[in-house]
Chain A
Amino acid sequence: MPEIAIRSEKLTRNFGTVQAVKSLTLEVPAGIVFGFLGPNGAGKTTTIRLLLGLLEPTSGRAHVMGLDTKTQANEIRERTGALLEPAGLYERLSAEDNLDFFGRIWRLSAGGRQARIKELLTHLDLWERRKEIAGTWSRGMKQKLAVARALLHRPSLVFLDEPTAGLDPMAAAALREDLAALAAREGVTVFLTTHNLIEAERLCGQVAVIRQGELMAVGHPNELRAKSGGPQAAIAGYGFNEEMLALLRAQPEVAAASLHHGRLLIDLKGEQEIAPLVSLVVGAGGAVEEVSKSKASLEDVFLTLMQEGK
């Protein structure tokens, strides 16, 4: 598999007057879990459909595993797995028959199908219930079954469109763990769309943020956090004054300092230690009761990007 699993250049898709995907230029390295983040209607699902060759782009182009989505869509679908939203299970068939059908589609031998189905369902704790009709299962179990279906033929690239959407927190956490374990074990590239930022932070080696079809940012979650500003320290106490603020602002590691509701708020330029600054405040006559230091979360980054877009 090439080092770049997905490469798109100015990929655009219009539906009438609506631009669902706007000039998307993106590179997804092979072998990682790549998070594609965005609010509802941002163009995440349309992007997956374009990458799978299910939709034709209005302009621009994309290559998946080195294959052109316009001219080699069949080859792309041959080598990838997909869990789309909704999962699209055959609810009148048993869980085992669902997987058996897709195993046949990917031309796994009868023995190979059975072994693989057992392996995946055992790993996902569903083996004992394989004969049950899929339509009678809970949403969480169905999602797990759909994940197994996407991985059945050992694809080198898997598209997962909001795999934990609609699940309760327990089921979502369990599925996340299963996904991480499976991705690591199978060594696949995972293109994961979600608007669950905790999920993205825990699972993804790289994330891209899309808003109204437009790419807003891309990088490792830590890089994105760093871009949105360094950590912030808050010092609660009394005796704080303007002189103290001037003293803090003069320090090279401090980006900004302000007094807010009796608390000193200090924006740091990087991963600096806070103890010298606390000493400075105490030395200048301030009384310190509580010190806290926080980093911008991916959620903060995401919300900032959404605000910037507006």
Chain B
Amino acid sequence: MTDVWTVIWKEWKEILFQRGSLRTGTIGLLITLGVFGIFLPLQMGRAWVESPMVLFYWLWVPLFLVSSMVADSFAGERERHTLEALLATRLSDRAILFGKIGAALGYGWGVTLASLLLGLATVNLVYGRGELLLYPANVGWGILGLSLLGAGLVADAGVLISLRASSVRQAQQTLSLAIMLLLFVPVFGAQALPTAWRKRLAEALMAADVTQFVLIAVTVMIVLNAGLLATAISRFKRARLID
């Protein structure tokens, strides 16, 4: 565990010190918090905490945050010629792999949670009128669980892609394409359905029990996470990572 934390420490330090300046890294972080924690809650008002649709929103935020970092995990080390020095250390394969996944997951989920809390504070300050506005319990737990698992899913997939990509750019493109397919295929697929089917689907979604939906989504994502993680473990081979 100490070794995993060591890799996470280095990854976060590199993210915060992008281009060698603490300010540059921090500004990126502040922009993210500003958009997701202040601007959008102000735009949406009380719906920010009252609508169950925010579940989809908070599922998307960590995908975006993690994907921006995880593509760099191995492809970036390879591109900057630091990978071999890292592989020549005493760190085990799993410590390196879990460290990379943990860093991306921690960053994505951490910033998501910070944005979530900041958003709650913003909505309460501006629209609360003396009343404490909170997410309903099932939606709140759903946000926490789904955002964590969503972040994990992208972290696992991103590391897998980054392991084999020849450059950060290639890894980013492949990962973006995968996320786009994941998000847009259901939307466009639903639009391609006959009108009667679409109507029935919309009715089913409106009538769906939020708790049931969250439980099903969490189960599916746990299975997907486990599958991707197992694949990443089996594909991480030191000898294959060196040219």
Contact = CB atoms under 8 A, between A and B. Distances in A.
Given A89-B82, A92-B19, A104-B9, A82 B3 contact: no
Interface in A137-167: 149
Contacts of B6: 101, 104-105
A105 to B, nearest CB: 5
B187 interface: no
A32 interface: no
A254 interface: no
A92 B81 CA distance: 13
B84 interface: yes
B90 A101 contact: no
Interface in A34-63: 49, 52-56
Interface string B86-115: 111111100000000000000000000000
| Chain B contact residues: helix, strand, loop or mixed | helix
Given A54-B238, A93-B14, A105 B90 contact: yes
B18 A54 contact: no
Contacts of B90: 74, 77-78, 105-106
B88 A52 contact: yes
Interface string A75-96: 0011000101011111111000
B242 A54 contact: yes
A84 B20 contact: no
A86 B14 CA distance: 19
18 contacts: A49-B242, A52-B88, A54-B238, A54-B239, A73-B238, A74-B92, A78-B90, A82-B85, A82-B88, A86-B81, A88-B81, A88-B84, A89-B82, A91-B80, A92-B17, A92-B18, A93-B10, A133-B20
Given A74-B90, A77-B89, A89-B82, 19 more contacts: A54-B87, A54-B242, A73-B238, A77-B90, A82-B85, A84-B85, A87-B81, A87-B85, A88-B80, A88-B85, A88-B86, A90-B10, A90-B80, A90-B82, A92-B18, A93-B10, A93-B13, A104-B6, A104-B9
